[in-house]
Amino acid sequence: MSRYKYSLLIFSWGLFGPAQADLTTGQHLVATHCTGCHDAQPYTNPNRRVQDIKALKEQVKMCARANGLKWTSDAIDAVATYLDQTYYHFP
């Protein structure tokens, strides 16, 4: 493989790879661990409390802890990214 093609591959992985992987991971984590107390209702509620991505990560962390989960910051990021892209759409 030429050096050019190789760097193109790295470049497109950087654009699409991890973000897509995050979404799939986040979706899986929510479906597996986050439906015991509530469904998606609090995310779509017009009166929802979370107003930015930082608060969303904090909330995910608190809810995960409430559920007895010890999530890494990677897992929290993946779930916050998934919830943002799917429900919150923060700018």
* Residue ranges binding ligand HEC (CB under 6 A): 30, 33-34, 36-38, 42-43, 48-50, 56, 59-60, 63-64, 66-67, 79, 83
For the chain, the maximum distance between any two Cα atoms, rounded to a whole number of angstroms, is 54
Grouping H, G, I as helix, E, B as strand and the rest as coil, residue 35 is coil
Q: Between residues 1 and 46, which has the closer beta carbon with respect to ligand HEC? A: 46
* C-alpha span between 48 and 28 (Å, rounded): 23
Q: Between residues 7 and 81, which has the closer beta carbon with respect to ligand HEC? A: 81
Q: Between residues 25 and 43, which has the closer beta carbon with respect to ligand HEC? A: 43
Q: Please, what is the minimum distance in Å from the beta carbon of residue 27 to ligand HEC? A: 11
Contact 80, 34 (CB under 8 A): no
